Structures are given as C-alpha cells and as structure tokens.
Amino acid sequence: MLGKIVVVGASAAGCRLALAAHSVGQDVTLVDEHPQAMKDMSFDAPWFYGAGLPSALLNDNSIAQALLEGSPELVECLEAGVDIRVSTILWGAFRNGPNCVNVGRPRVGLVTRDGNEILEHDSLIIATGVRDFVPSFKGWELPGVFGGKAGIALLDLYQVFEGRKVVVLGTSELALRFIRSALSRGVEIVAVIEAGDEVAAGIEAAEWLSQQTIPVHLGHVLQEAKGSVAVTGARCASLDGSSTFDLDCDSIAVAIATLPNIELPAAMGCKMQYDPNVASWVPEINAQGETSLENVFWAANDRAVDALLERINGAEPDAPPGPPPAASISTLDYIKAWISALHQSGDDAVTLCQCESVSRGEFCGIAPPAYLGKELRNQQTPVNQSDSSDAPRINQDFMKRMTRVSMGHCQGKRCRDEAVVALSLRFGCDVEAIRPASYRFPLRPIDLGLIADDDESDEIRLNWQMWPYETRQD
C-alpha cells in the first residue's frame, strides 16, 4: 500500500507520477523548489547559474508564470486538483529506522518563503532530476560562467538570458541542446571546446555543428575565463601544449555533464551503489523502483518511472527497470577526461571550492584552511591503511573536515564531484574506492527564522535535556 504519497520534483516524470496517483484516488502531494527565489538560485543548486543572475529574475510573478507556461504537465496536475507545492524546498525526510524509533509516521520537512511545515505521509517518490556539473578553471567565479541546465533555463524557461557571445565547454547532448536554444534566440556561439578528440554527442552532432559554422576545438581545454568583474574572454589551450589562443566572449557555458540529485536518498540512508554511466552514487532499486527503504522510490530513469506508474495503477511489474542503454563513453570517463585536462592545463592555485576559497593544491595537499594561518608539521596523505580489501582507500568526509572543501554554503554541490575525481586521479584509486562525503539535512541552506520550530510541544519543552549537567545518581 502506497497510502499518502509525496512526490519530490515536478519534472515531466514527477508530474506524470503525481497525476497517475491522483487519478486513481491516492492522496498525493507534489513538491518542487522551483520557481526559486533569486537568492536560492545563487546557491547554484540544482542548476549552476554562477554569479551573473539577470535582475529580471527578481520578478517573482513573472518567473512563476514562466514556470507554468514551460510545463504543461504541471498545469495538468494543477487542473486535476493535485496538491501542488511549488517554491517549496523539501529540506529533510524523517522516518523510523535503526537507532531512531520515535519519529512515528514518516514525515518530510517542507519550507517555503513564508515558513515551514512537517508533512506526514506513507510513501515518498523521489524524482529530483539532475543538476549541472561544473568543474573548476581559472576565473570560474566570474559572472558569465554558468552550467548547461542553468543556461537552458535562462534561455527557454525564464527567457532572461543576457549573454550575446558564448563559448561552450563540452560536446555532450546537453551542450547541443544548449547550443540549439541559444542559436534560436539569436545568441552567437563563438566556439565549442572539447577535451576529447571527437564530438561526444556523435557524428551527426559534429556534422550539424559544422553546418552551423561553429568552430569546434577538439583536444583543447579552457585555461582561463578572462575578465576582472565579468567574463570578457576565454583563453584556450591545446592539450598537447602546442598552442594557446584567446576567444572574445561574454559568457562561458559549461555543458559537460549533469549529475543526478541524490542528496535526498543519500541523506535518508538509502543503500547506494556507484554507477559510472551517470558518474554518481545512486540508490539501489528493485523492479518497482523501490530503494532499500520501504516505500521510498527513486525515479532513476524512464523505465523506473514506467514501473512505478504500473505499481500506482495496481500492476505488479516483475522485470527490473534496468539501466538505460549505456553511452559509448561513460559520464564518469567523460568527466574524468575533462578534469584531467583542466588540472593539467591550469595550475594548483585554481580555486576548487568557491564557498571556502580553497585551491586544488591546498585540497589535495590537505592544507589547513587559510584563516587558521597554520601549516601541518609534516606532509600527510589521505590514503587509508587497512588490512581489509573492501575498505575505502580515501574518505571524502575526512578531506572535507580537514580542508573545508564542500563545507560551505553550496553544501558541496559545486565542488564535491570534481574533488572526488581529483583525488582519484592524483592518488591513483578508483572513484568507487573513495568513501563518498555524506549528504546532510537540510538539503538546501535555510534561513533560521524560516525553519525554526514554532510548535514545540510542552512535552518536548519540559523534557529537553540540559546537556551535560543533568547528573543524577542512582
């Protein structure tokens, strides 16, 4: 029994699932963080807008309108009477489990721009989609640098894109989608830079780029985003080191890859496994998309969504959803090639963690944060000693704690994936052999005034433990 359902993520898939549940009479609530307040967009989660958000996004009404116009599925849910919570962040999910048996019915924490609510439910469907992957390079903090998904949202959804001349990094499907959108709105694509030696989206995509007379620089990498207050150019370098050249541009679209938004299932404690095809840890799921936690579902892909739709409609699918057909190059290999190229052509002084201002070199050398003004007596290694062959070689949480990379206000969403690949490349171990940094609630930073509880029961209040001087004797 699914009972009361919460669907997280109003993508086409999330809307389909919510609508299906609603139409068979299930009590369902659909939650989505979009449209985001502009200050939340500046966290670069889920989409990497960078520092150059157009001021038109301050108009909450128009961006809400844009969101509805951009999603017929959401309008359909609205018209059908689904309980829809937009501009609502699901910041936490709580349920009974090991060492935690007093929660009662499963509940999620929701927060809007006005306050917060705890919503009880029975089943949770996680359809949180993907986010931008943007690796570091010199100048990536400048306004004008953004991720592919963010660029497409600015162009098509919100229609507030301000760039005129764009350099694109990457030749994946995402890059091609961005380029088509940009061209259709009269934005010039100055050049496409690709670290690999072929267009990742395939031969047809390469031919199409050629027909559009867009220069594609294979075997090249971005060395620097130039500019003092905003992007004014891009310096490119060939990977063989034979040449560098400058391009005139006002924007750099980093459209290398997207990664699944796994914060919620990971923080809930779903059992995870590494999938190189999506370059991420993802929840293990059964034939019905159910994770290791009962009645918590992960809408991993179209097949998982179909299986879940059948379940909602009362069928019992027996075939496991299975992964989508593997790409010729895994997302992990593609990301690795890019990070390797960027780290090879840029130097160790490049900022890896923007929130905490930590460079690549400081991170990999486990340097204490600069504000301490202290050094380590001796150089140390992050590599773990153990007799167990199953033991993680490196612990990313340890690296976080020592260097503060991924500890800042973006909660690691900008840097954690590059950080783990950088460790893998520099210390010669598989990404899977690195214990991933934990995800923690809240899933987005939240103003204290919005989330602070205003309904503390007398029971909790009276029994609140006064650590640590409640010393009692038998």
The set of residues, in sequence order, having a beta carbon less than 8 Å from that of 371 and lying 6+ positions away, is none
Length of the chain: 474
Among positions 16, 34, 107, 416, the unique one binding other proteins when judged by CB under 8 A: 107
The set of residues, in sequence order, having a beta carbon less than 8 Å from that of 472 and lying 6+ positions away, is none
**Which range binds other proteins by CB under 8 A, 135-143, 194-202, 278-286, 439-447?**
439-447
Residue 376, interface with other proteins (CB under 8 A)? Answer: yes
Q: Within 13 Å, how many C-alpha atoms sit on residue 237's CB side?
A: 17
CA-based nearest residue to 420, from 155, 135, 153, 40: 135
Coil/strand/helix, residue 24: coil
The helix (run of H) or strand (run of E) holding residue 344 is helix 331-345
CA-based nearest residue to 443, from 92, 64, 60, 87: 92
User: Measured from the CB of residue 105, what is the shortest distance to other proteins in angstroms?
Assistant: 12
Binding mask 115-134 for other proteins (x = CB under 8 A): -x-x----------------
User: Measured from the CB of residue 369, what is the shortest distance to other proteins in angstroms?
Assistant: 7
The sign of the dihedral angle between the CA atoms of 297, 301, 307, 310 is positive
User: Measured from the CB of residue 97, what is the shortest distance to other proteins in angstroms?
Assistant: 6
Residue with tokens 């005129």: 164
Residue 473, interface with other proteins (CB under 8 A)? Answer: yes
Among positions 4, 27, 392, 426, the unique one binding other proteins when judged by CB under 8 A: 392
Residue 208, interface with other proteins (CB under 8 A)? Answer: no
The DSSP code for 157 is: I
Among positions 317, 320, 365, 369, the unique one binding other proteins when judged by CB under 8 A: 369
Cβ proximity to other proteins, 302 vs 397, nearer residue? 397
Among positions 395, 399, 413, 417, the unique one binding other proteins when judged by CB under 8 A: 395
Residue 319, interface with other proteins (CB under 8 A)? Answer: no
Q: Are 458 and 464 in contact (CB under 8 A)?
A: no
Residue 25, interface with other proteins (CB under 8 A)? Answer: no
Among positions 1, 55, 79, 101, the unique one binding other proteins when judged by CB under 8 A: 101
User: Measured from the CB of residue 101, what is the shortest distance to other proteins in angstroms?
Assistant: 5
Between vectors from CA 68 to CA 66 and to CA 69, what angle results, nearest 5°?
A: 65
User: Measured from the CB of residue 77, what is the shortest distance to other proteins in angstroms?
Assistant: 27
CA atoms of 412 and 27, how far apart (whole Å): 35
Find residue 100's DSSP bridge partners.
97
Pairing of strands 165-169, 251-254: parallel
User: Which residues lie near other proteins (CB under 8 A)?
Assistant: 92, 94, 97-103, 107, 109, 116, 118, 269, 356, 368-369, 371-372, 374, 376-378, 380, 384-388, 390-392, 395, 397-398, 401-402, 404, 407, 409, 411, 435, 438, 440-442, 445-449, 451-454, 456, 459-460, 463-474
